[in-house]
Chain A
Amino acid sequence: MQITETEQQIIDEFALFPDWMDKYEHLIELGKKLPPFDEKSKTEQHLIAGCQSRVWLDAHYENDKVFFTADSDAIITKGIVSLLVQVLSGHEPQDILDAKLEFIDKIGLKENLSPTRSNGLLAMVKQMKLYALAYKTTKASK
């Protein structure tokens, strides 16, 4: 599935929850369902500097595609993290670099990605794109 298709799927899913509490309930569920992150990998190296909640991110490259794993100590943040992983994981570096991630805004979670909101999510998106860039560059130099 294309990145934008997954985004659309998420937008449709969230359209079922006009009420904020239902939306959060859904995010909490997504957060709880996110595959566990290896405790040993919760190192400084994988920690994304954020002011309010901590986010860990790891990536690997397989068959020309980037795969992400992530975690957060805050469950709502973890729910949003899980959406980002769902959307970007398993795609080619260039597609990840081109992704506009407009779904975040469309499902009403824009405030979580604003530059002044230091909860690590914007930094996480940047880090995901940096991984993509790094893999793309490595591939090109081979």
Chain B
Amino acid sequence: MFQIQTIRNDFPALHQKVYGKPLIYFDNAATTHKPKPVINAVNEMNSLINGNIHRAFHYLGNVCTERYEEARETVRAFLNAPHTDEIIFTAGTTSAINMAAFSFGERYVGEGDEIIITEAEHHSNLVPWQLLCERKNAVLKVLSVDDDGRLQTEKLPQLFSKKTRLLCIAQASNVLGIINPIREIVATAHAHGVPVLVDGAQGVVHGGIDVQDADCDFYVFSGHKLYAPTGVGVLYGKRKWLEEMPPYQSGGDMIASVSLTHTTFNTLPLKFEAGTANFTGVYGLKKAIEYIQNVGLSAIHDYEQTLVRHAVQLMQTIQGLHIYGTAAPKTTVLSFNIDGVHPTDAAQMLDKMGIASRSGHLCAEPLMHRFHTQGMLRFSFAFYNTKEEITATVTALDKIKKMLI
């Protein structure tokens, strides 16, 4: 049974006042708050259970190593990946994509080759591929979006050529909130012999993924957008790719043996985990996944969808308000503009009313150009938000609009 009050009590950050007003936090697509089990786990690791992993023979080192490797298994099960050694811990989505862009690029991308991305990518799943293409003299091709925000997947087949090496696509857009038909897209790509990297930064928290069912070749996500600590993320990759890809960063933990003239590398997954890993954050990620699994992913999804429906219904009563990305299905992301209102003005004023929103280009400038705007205002909900918060926010927004126009 989904009990909103019980859930809210698990998140201390929700119970603070900002500028003397109770906090209403609608910037969950940027980062989410952490439940007590995550906070307690991180506190315990920082205050007691602290020993470097994979090397020491002492008690604390052993416990930390166990927790770290248990977390890897938790993530594997969460994604339904076939093997635990396909789970690489990173610092977040951005570092996971950079790792993939470098290591996959070194092994498989050469001059004249092509990589496909979409117009709806955030900068993290765009710039690393641009840079790779510059390094290798490769070509970046772009799949565009419709006016309603839907990816023009019918145009995808004609983008593939014999030179296409990889397709990189978000599971869900951080601006439009639209969830892409990943399984179909992967099937199309595979029919053309092209592997697919799925950016789960916005998708993992809204329904997760079954990487075997989706059959994607790579999947990345951040912990901090999934109620886990910042500075931890995941790169899942099929063994057949990861084994052939060269390491990204080098140093300790990723080696098998080192002499002054030659180094052989460790096997998966440690080949890609150079240096001391963020074992504290990784253990926090394990606790976060367990927490949402305990609440229930489908209960979370159902509740979040009632929030979105409520918000859309109320927001439509504000004259001149346009929501971007009207196609279904959607996550909890609602990006919009109000005629005559600059999003930055509205965001600043909402802030002083205790309401955290996001404004600007939302780290997705190509999409801003696509929709002919300098910026947008964005609300993004989590399962700890309430209809009452939404009602209060839309009332505040209406008041702000009247002040600004």
The docked-state distance in angstroms from the alpha carbon of A119 to that of B344 is 9
Contacts of B348 in A (CB 8 A): 24, 76
Contact indicator per residue, chain A 37-54, by CB within 8 Å of chain B (1) or not (0) = 000000000000001111
The docked-state distance in angstroms from the alpha carbon of A76 to that of B353 is 16
Could you tell me the distance in whole angstroms from the C-beta of B205 to the nearest C-beta in chain A?
25
Interface membership of B361, Cβ < 8 A: yes
Could you tell me the distance in whole angstroms from the C-beta of B350 to the nearest C-beta in chain A?
11
Contacts of A74 in B (CB 8 A): 342, 344-345
Contacts of A54 in B (CB 8 A): 374
Interface membership of B110, Cβ < 8 A: no
Size band of the B side of the interface? 10 to 19
Partner of B349, one of A21, A52, A119: A21
Query: Which residues of chain A from 57 to 90 have any CB-CB distance to chain B below 8 Å in the complex?
Result: 73-77
Check if B404 sits within 8 Å of A52, measured CB to CB: no
The docked-state distance in angstroms from the alpha carbon of A74 to that of B404 is 10
Could you tell me the distance in whole angstroms from the C-beta of B220 to the nearest C-beta in chain A?
25
Q: A51-B361, A75-B345 are in contact. Are A28 and B404 (CB under 8 A)?
A: yes
Interface membership of B403, Cβ < 8 A: yes
Contacts of A52 in B (CB 8 A): 343-344, 359-360, 375
Closest B residue, CB atoms, query A76 = B345
Check if A76 sits within 8 Å of B344, measured CB to CB: yes
The docked-state distance in angstroms from the alpha carbon of A76 to that of B359 is 14
The docked-state distance in angstroms from the alpha carbon of A53 to that of B348 is 12
Interface membership of B123, Cβ < 8 A: no
Contacts of B404 in A (CB 8 A): 28, 75
Query: Which residues of chain A from 20 to 44 have any CB-CB distance to chain B below 8 Å in the complex?
Result: 20-21, 24-25, 28
Closest B residue, CB atoms, query A20 = B352
Contact indicator per residue, chain B 258-269, by CB within 8 Å of chain A (1) or not (0) = 000000000000
Partner of A53, one of B344, B349, B352, B403: B344
Q: A51-B361, A52-B375, A54-B374 are in contact. Are A20 and B19 (CB under 8 A)?
A: yes
Closest B residue, CB atoms, query A118 = B360
Query: Which residues of chain B from 364 to 405 have any CB-CB distance to chain A below 8 Å in the complex?
Result: 374-375, 403-404
Contacts of A119 in B (CB 8 A): 344
Closest B residue, CB atoms, query A72 = B342
Contacts of B345 in A (CB 8 A): 53, 74-77
Closest B residue, CB atoms, query A77 = B344
Could you tell me the distance in whole angstroms from the C-beta of A61 to the nearest C-beta in chain B?
31
Contacts of B359 in A (CB 8 A): 52
Query: Which residues of chain B from 42 to 87 have any CB-CB distance to chain A below 8 Å in the complex?
Result: none
Contacts of B375 in A (CB 8 A): 52
Contacts of A51 in B (CB 8 A): 360-361
Check if A21 sits within 8 Å of B361, measured CB to CB: no
The docked-state distance in angstroms from the alpha carbon of A130 to that of B374 is 27
Partner of A73, one of B342, B352, B403: B342
The docked-state distance in angstroms from the alpha carbon of A20 to that of B351 is 10
Closest B residue, CB atoms, query A74 = B342
Contacts of B342 in A (CB 8 A): 53, 73-77
Query: Which residues of chain B from 256 to 304 have any CB-CB distance to chain A below 8 Å in the complex?
Result: none
Contacts of B19 in A (CB 8 A): 20
The docked-state distance in angstroms from the alpha carbon of A47 to that of B375 is 17
Q: List 29 A-B contacts (CB under 8 A).
A: A20-B19, A20-B349, A20-B352, A21-B352, A21-B353, A21-B403, A24-B348, A24-B349, A24-B352, A24-B403, A28-B403, A28-B404, A52-B343, A52-B344, A52-B359, A52-B375, A53-B344, A53-B345, A54-B374, A73-B342, A73-B374, A74-B342, A75-B342, A75-B345, A75-B404, A76-B344, A76-B348, A76-B349, A119-B344
Residues of A within 8 A of B (CB): 20-21, 24-25, 28, 51-54, 73-77, 119
